[in-house]
Amino acid sequence: MPSSLQSAQPFGNMHKSHLPIQIAQAGGSPNVSTDAPISQHAEQTSEKPQIGDIPDPTLLLENAVLAALLLILFAFLSRRNLQKVPRGLQNIGEFIVETIDRFVVELMGHHGRKYVPFAGTLFLFIFVMNVLGDIPGFHAPTSNLTYTFALGLTVFCYVQWEGIRARGLFGYIKHFSGPPLPPLMAIFLKPLLFVIEVISELFKPITLSVRLFGNIFGEDVIILVFASLFTMIGLKMFGWFPLQFPVLLLAYLTDFVQALVFMVLACIYLALMTHEEEMEEEESEQALAHAH
């Protein structure tokens, strides 16, 4: 063997030992001058955000804070110069408050008025976050399961707290055993009903969060699909008219309905947890009225 080949063989073995397994098995040798730029280009492409990617959690938090600040600003401006004959923002604010108050009272009864601030804040906050997702450059925090679960967990904790306040700790625990039953049936059914009721109660924040997340996320996906179609074929076939515009109008209706459904379910959970206590209060008030 020539000396030049003998001197080149160790270098070739050393070079091949550092190759990837697939290249070494194939017996090929990569082009060293093109490997580094290709890998760098792949890394840059993977790091660059793509259409349809899940937004950064920090960006969603900023949008949630923005929604809260917008509501605080609206409340401040609508109450800044109160007048007997409301005009402008005061008129809009009073209309919103009166509508929510009437709706919650009709849904929960007379005692539901004390839950109007909680229900109204919940509805407006979710609605504003939903609408932010329809504005270019913004993202709806409710399209992320983390934020919807936080909202559902807030409702869950508030409902349990109100249940303990209304029934007492013993009455709150007794509530999960179901309605009164004959003694013999109660021995067998009460433990089973208790387990079923506790499990269903624990699943309430999950169902609340998944329902809101699924609808808002699906809405964003539909708008994204139509916007992509518009950029690909819409400009040629329809001129300047955006294909996603009709879907965007429908999205505002969906934003309102989903916020309303979330508020309605929260009110129903509150009514179910505090219903017996409220009925006892009404009966005692009626008894006092008849006694006088």
CA angle 200, 204, 206 (to 5 degrees): 115
What pLDDT was estimated at residue 134?
Answer: 85
CA 169 – CA 209 distance, rounded (Å): 27
Query: Is 10's pLDDT higher than 50?
Result: no
Task: Please report whether residue 9 resides in a domain.
Answer: no
What's the whole-number mean pLDDT along residues 230-247? Answer: 63
pLDDT band with cut points at 50, 70 and 90 for residue 55? low
212: confidence class by pLDDT, cuts 50, 70, 90:
very high
One-character DSSP codes across 215-262: HHHHHHHHHHHHHHHIIIIIHHHHTT--TTHHHHHHHHHHHHHHHHHH
Q: Which residue range forms the structural domain that includes residue 178?
A: 57-277
DSSP state of 19: S
**Is there a domain that residue 36 lies in?**
no
Residues in the chain: 292
Q: H/E element holding 169?
A: helix 145-175
Statement: residue 165 has pLDDT above 80: yes
Rounded to the nearest integer, the mean pLDDT of the chain is 77
Q: How many CB atoms lie within 10 A of CB 160?
A: 14
Determine, yes or no, domain membership for 189: yes
Number of domains in the chain: 1
Find the distance separating the first CA and the last CA of the chain, reported in whole Å: 123
Taking phi first (over 0 means left), then psi (-120 to 50 degrees means alpha), and beta for anything else, what does residue 277 get?
alpha
pLDDT digits (tens, 9 = 90+) for 142-153: 988 999 999 999
Residue 195, domain member (yes or no) = yes
Q: Does some domain include residue 178?
A: yes
Predicted confidence band of residue 3 (pLDDT cuts 50, 70, 90): very low
- Residue 257 or residue 47, greater confidence: 257
What is the sign, positive or negative, of the torsion defined by CA atoms of 285, 290, 291, 292? positive
Does any domain span residue 196?
A: yes
Between helix 204-229 and helix 183-202 the angle, nearest 10°, is 30
**Is 214 a member of any domain?**
yes
4 in any annotated domain: no
